[in-house]
């Protein structure tokens, strides 16, 4: 049930979007679907993937808009290359019915702005480096996650998507990593950096990548803090920051880094996406028994 408080939160979020990247005023970058759609689909798709992403969000700058275009188009092209088709649900605007996402075979949740702190118990309005907060989009994504998991669909979530998976399960987020040097560039530097992560032995993620030490692409100032019930840590940065979690039983994989960054290694992206598409094609609600 939508309470007065919920309506007030949504009104504030709508106002922020109108003032931010969702607007179409002069000088405001707007990412359009046709800029990220690969323009082709497999003739006989093995699976249908729902893709959730906010192509536009508050505080969006042109350099970040370029990242949204690049990462989203790479993710979609990778799905098509693996003979999957997709439907993109742009959470820049409200989802009419989040339950429709569960009608497809799997859910891919891409990155974006920060997760609203109120969703994990942080009500500090002065979080350093905060950007792109969109409470309504967060709530829509969590609602979609809930129906998809209830329907037994596999989930692959990246960056903001990974944090929302954790929050949806009752976990929390580090609002701002004070010593960010391993995870993103500093002032005047490119946002994304090469980061070394260690894959935890015995996890499902370990079976999807070639090595237990990976060089990945990261550009984040937030990260998963307390892990949600039912999940385990699957990847760690050298400073102990969580870079990946996975559900113990259900096919849910959440990665803080960006395997869909084309500047990263293709083989790791393909290994992860291929396993996800295969799970969607087979209708796997849980990890296959080893």
Q: What is the dihedral of CA 150, 152, 155, 160, to 10 degrees?
A: 0
CA-CA distances (angstroms) from residue 271 to 111, 236, 249, 276, 277? Answer: 19, 19, 20, 9, 10
Whether the predicted model's global pTM rises above the 0.75 cut: yes
pLDDT of 20 over the 70 cut: no
pLDDT over 90, % of the chain: 77
Q: What is the structure's pLDDT at 84?
A: 98
pLDDT of 3 over the 70 cut: no
Q: What is the structure's pLDDT at 124?
A: 83
Q: What is the structure's pLDDT at 289?
A: 81
pLDDT of 32 over the 70 cut: yes
pLDDT of 261 over the 70 cut: yes
pLDDT over 70, % of the chain: 90
Express each pLDDT in 109-165 by its tens digit.
999 999 999 999 998 888 888 889 999 999 999 999 999 999 999 999 999 999 999
Report the C-alpha gap between 160 and 170 in whole angstroms: 15
CB atoms within 10 A of CB 101: 24
Q: What is the structure's pLDDT at 244?
A: 98
Report the C-alpha gap between 204 and 185 in whole angstroms: 30
Report the C-alpha gap between 157 and 176 in whole angstroms: 20
Residues forming a β-bridge with 250: 286
pLDDT of 12 over the 70 cut: no
Average pLDDT, the chain: 90
Burial 153-182 (b: 16+ CB within 10 A, else e): bbbbbbbbbbbbbbbbbebbbbbbbeebeb
| Lowest-confidence region among 26-30, 87-91, 180-184, 242-246 | 26-30
- The answer to whether residue 122 is catalytic is no
Express each pLDDT in 162-203 by its tens digit.
999 999 999 999 998 888 888 888 888 888 889 999 999 999
pLDDT of 79 over the 60 cut: yes
- The answer to whether residue 258 is catalytic is yes
Q: What is the structure's pLDDT at 41?
A: 97
| Lowest-confidence region among 78-87, 100-109, 178-187 | 178-187
Active-site entry in 221, 260, 267, 278: 260
Active-site entry in 220, 221, 247, 258: 258
Report the C-alpha gap between 202 and 143 in whole angstroms: 31
Q: What is the structure's pLDDT at 81?
A: 98
Report the C-alpha gap between 45 and 47 in whole angstroms: 5
CA-CA distances (angstroms) from residue 86 to 79, 93, 94, 266? Answer: 8, 19, 19, 20
Among 137, 144, 105, 120, smallest CA distance to 251 is for 105
Express each pLDDT in 209-228 by its tens digit.
989 999 999 988 989 999 99
Active-site entry in 159, 220, 221, 246: 159
């Amino acid at each position: 049930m939508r309470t007065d408080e919920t309506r007030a939160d949504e009104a504030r979020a709508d106002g922020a979007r109108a003032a931010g990247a969702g607007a179409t005023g002069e000088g405001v970058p707007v990412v359009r679907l046709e800029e990220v759609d690969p323009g082709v689909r497999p003739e006989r798709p093995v699976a249908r993937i729902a893709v959730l992403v906010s192509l536009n969000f508050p505080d969006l700058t042109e350099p970040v808009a370029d990242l949204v275009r690049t990462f989203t188009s790479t993710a979609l092209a990778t799905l098509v290359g693996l003979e999957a088709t997709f439907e993109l649900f742009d959470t820049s605007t409200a989802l009419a019915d989040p339950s429709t996402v569960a009608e497809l075979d799997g859910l891919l949740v891409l990155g974006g702005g920060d997760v609203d702190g109120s969703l994990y118990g942080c009500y500090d309005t002065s979080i350093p480096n905060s950007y792109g907060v969109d409470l309504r989009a967060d709530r829509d994504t969590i609602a979609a996650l809930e129906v998809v998991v209830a329907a037994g669909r596999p989930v692959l979530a990246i960056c903001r998507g990974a944090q929302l998976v954790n929050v949806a399960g009752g976990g929390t987020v580090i609002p701002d990593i004070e010593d960010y040097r391993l995870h993103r560039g500093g002032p005047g530097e490119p946002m994304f950096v090469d980061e070394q992560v260690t894959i935890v032995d015995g996890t499902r993620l370990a079976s999807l990548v070639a090595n237990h030490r990976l060089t990945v692409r990261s550009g984040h100032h937030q990260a998963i803090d307390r892990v949600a019930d039912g999940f385990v840590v699957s990847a760690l940065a050298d400073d102990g920051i969580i870079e990946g979690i996975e559900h113990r039983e259900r096919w849910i994989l959440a990665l803080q880094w960006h395997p869909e960054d084309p500047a990263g290694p293709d083989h790791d992206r393909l290994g992860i996406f291929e396993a996800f598409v295969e799970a969607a094609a087979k209708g796997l609600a849980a990890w296959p028994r080893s």
